[in-house]
Amino acid sequence: GDIVLLAKPVTLTEGDRVTLTTDVPVATDGTSKPEKLLYAVSLPPVHGQIEHINYPGVPISSYSQLDVVAQKVSDVHDNSHRAGKESVR
């Protein structure tokens, strides 16, 4: 089936960390098991990284919808750039 992903922008400044919740990315594929959906980070943030809260400082390249629901994934801005927009794909 089709997969629907709804995402909202998040603003980070130097050194900020935002924990991803279902208010930011939420996906559904029409099945009864949304917790099995996986996100793959194909284009990480230029000025930071996506990381699992149990492993701070270690960038991850994938995570599950269950991780998002449990608030276990963060977008962390490094201190290398102050302004500008970037996105994570």
Whether 89 maps to a domain, the answer reads no
The number of distinct structural domains making up the chain is 1
Is the model's pLDDT at 47 over the cut of 60?
yes
Whether 21 maps to a domain, the answer reads no
CB proximity list for 55: less than 8 A, separation 6 or greater: none
Structural domain including 46 reads 36-77
Is the model's pLDDT at 54 over the cut of 90?
yes
Quick one: pLDDT at residue 75?
85
Whether 64 maps to a domain, the answer reads yes
79, 15 contact by CB (below 8 A): yes
Whether 46 maps to a domain, the answer reads yes
- For residue range 59-77, what is the model confidence (pLDDT) as tens digits? 999 998 889 889 999 888 8
Is the model's pLDDT at 21 over the cut of 90?
no
Whether 48 maps to a domain, the answer reads yes
Quick one: pLDDT at residue 39?
84
